[in-house]
Every structure is written in C-alpha cells, then in structure tokens.
Amino acid sequence: MKNQENALKEVKTLLKKHSISYLRKAFGQKFLIDFSILERQIILADITGKDKVLEIGAGLGTLTRKLAEKAGKVYTFESDKKLAHALEKEVSVFPNVEVIPEDAVKSPFPPFNKCVSNLPYNISSPIMFKLLKHDFEHAVLMLQKEFAERLVSKPGSKDYSRLTVLASLKTKIEIAQIVPKTAFYPVPKVDSVLAVINPIRSPFEKDLEERLEDLLRVLFSRKSRKVRKVLRSFLNKKIQDKAFTKKIVSKLPYAEERIKFLQPIQFINITKTLIRLLEEVGIGWEDVFSGTKT
Ligand code: SAH
C-alpha cells in the first residue's frame, strides 16, 4: 500500500511537472500505480536485449521505462500530443525508446516481436484485430476484464463474437492475473486482467483468412439466426437468381445451425465450401463481399 501511495505521488508529480491538469477519459487515460503488477507484467513478457517491443498507450511512461531497461528497442505509441511531449522528455535517457506520437489504430506498426501494453480500453478491439494481422512471439496486455472475457468466451455465450472466433483460431489466450481497479489512477469503473497472448500456427492461408473475415462480418451481424437464413438473405441482395442462391446455401455445412453455436473451426469449413461453390459457377468472391468491409 505504501508503494502504491508513492507511485500515486509520482504520477501526480509528473502530471504537475508537465502542466497536465486534466486527464482525458475518452483517451482511456488511467495510470498504473501498483508497481507489483508492473513487475509481473515484465516477468510475463520475458524481455531480452534481442527484443523489439511494441507498446500502445504509454501515458507517462511507467511501463515504457521498465521495458527500456531490458529490451533492445521499444516503440511506444502515445496519441495525446501533450502526454507524448512529456513522455519524450521523461524517456530521453533511454536511447532505445522511440515515442510515436500517433494514433496506434491508424498508423502502421513498426517491426516488433513482442507487444507489452496497458491498453487504453476504448481501442482494445481495433488493436486486437490489428495485432492478429501481425506475426509476433507473444503479447502481454492489460485488458478490461469484460473485454478479456469476451475474447475467451465459448460458442453459445452472449459474448461470443467475430473477434472471439478470429482470436481463438490464431492465438492461445491465457488470463494470468486479475488486476483490481484500485491499481489505477484515476480509479476506473471496472477491473482489468493481465492477458498473455501466444500466436499459434493458424489453420489457414492469408487469402482464406481474409475471406473468413468477410464471412464472419456478415454472419455475426445476426448471430442468433441460422447460417442458412443470414447467408441466403445476404446473397439474395448480391446475386439476382434466387433459386440459385437457395441451392448454394443448401450445400453449405451447418446451414441449419445457429451462428452463435458454431465452433471457430466450423466457420473455416463454411468459408472453404462457399469459396468452392462460388468458383464453380464463376462468381468472384469480391463481387459478392465488396462493400461488407468496415
Ligand atoms: N501505459 C500507461 C498509461 C495507460 S492509459 C500506464 O499504464 O500508466 C492509456 C494511454 O493510451 C493514455 O495515455 C492515452 O492518451 C493513450 N491512448 C489512447 N488512445 C490511443 C491511441 N489511439 N493511440 C495511442 N495512444 C492512445
């Protein structure tokens, strides 16, 4: 507790020093003040001098400094210009830290092999989708508890989502520790967790993955319905011949199942079959699915 009081003092001193008088809720600005959790995060991340570490949402650089002591290189995003400016100064003693004063959702990631972040909650979802498109060794992320539960949820649960399916096909996610909300300043409404994310050899090629994503976007827009219904009404809007779409859909596996009950791997089977059926009649995947991307 003493440590936490000191850490809180340190955060407040830094804010004052850099004339930051208010914190921006919309930026998910909540600073970690329990350094035992920081230590645990560093141990889980297993950083060595060979590592290029990506951090998203550096804040005042509490985690950044710890990473910089061990890593070969740390790239850290901080989109709040005022904080980024303060951060530049605070980490200037570490020549291996590069502060990127940009929005981590919109800017390309620099080359990295590990990602360690106390993620701003408002961008957890787009950052997870983006991370899944990169190759890396592992990620140790502080996530909002509800978000982490969504990531590891099972078919049939209300949290089961497009991101759950993709994450479970591409990674193994382990919740290493629950982090109480009192570990942050200001205290947020909800607890967090430390999640360790290990990519696994994914069961598909790049092309298939993109098509799977297209299909998931359509299916999860109505996840309580049956595969047949959702795909038929979608295809009917794209292909004029209704008898033909009826035939295609009847040939798909799990057509009578409700989307939310399907296992992740079953979505791959549907995608592969749909690719083949469209190919057989000379309809391009893109002709059907362009316009579904967000
Ligand atoms: N890692 C720090 C701060 C966490 S708060 C700590 O643990 O103490 C999250 C930080 O992410 C805030 O400083 C916020 O300004 C920043 N942030 C929010 N949205 C961002 C985005 N889109 N790109 C980069 N940084 C962002």
User: Among 56, 83, 184, which residue has the most ligand 1 atoms within 8 Å of its CB, making it the best to mutate?
Assistant: 56
Confidence at residue 293, expressed as pLDDT on a 0 to 100 scale: 67
| 291 vs 14: CA distance, rounded Å | 47
Task: Give the number of the atom of ligand 1 that is nearest the alpha carbon of residue 120.
Answer: 9
By the 8 A CB rule, do 114 and 47 touch?
A: yes
Confidence at residue 204, expressed as pLDDT on a 0 to 100 scale: 75
Could you say which architecture CATH assigns to the domain 2-199? 3-Layer(aba) Sandwich (3.40)
Give residue 152 CA to ligand 1 midpoint distance, Å. 24
By the 8 A CB rule, do 116 and 139 touch?
A: yes
- Tell me the torsion sign for CA atoms 264, 265, 270, 276: positive
Give the CATH fold of the 206-292 domain: Helicase, Ruva Protein; domain 3 (1.10.8)
| 39 vs 41: CA distance, rounded Å | 5
- Kindly report, residue by residue over 59-74, the tens digit of the pLDDT: 999 999 999 999 999 9
By the 8 A CB rule, do 184 and 158 touch?
A: no
Residues with C-beta less than 6 Å from any ligand 1 atom: 27-32, 56-59, 62-63, 77-80, 83, 103-105, 118, 120, 123
- Kindly report, residue by residue over 185-242, the tens digit of the pLDDT: 999 999 999 999 999 987 678 889 999 999 999 999 999 999 999 999 999 998 888 8
Give residue 124 CA to ligand 1 midpoint distance, Å. 11
Which residue lies with its CA nearest to atom 21 of ligand 1? 103
Which residue lies with its CA nearest to atom 3 of ligand 1? 59
By the 8 A CB rule, do 245 and 185 touch?
A: no
**In 10 A of CB 39, how many CB atoms?**
11
Q: List the chain residues with pLDDT less than 50.
A: none
DSSP designation for 226: B
**Boundaries of CATH 1.10.8.100 in the chain?**
206-292
**Boundaries of CATH 3.40.50.150 in the chain?**
2-199
User: Among 79, 105, 116, 185, which residue has the most ligand 1 atoms within 8 Å of its CB, making it the best to mutate?
Assistant: 79
Phi-psi region of 211 (alpha: psi -120 to 50; beta: other; left: phi over 0): alpha
Give residue 120 CA to ligand 1 midpoint distance, Å. 5
The phi, psi pair for 132, rounded to 5°, reads: -65, -15
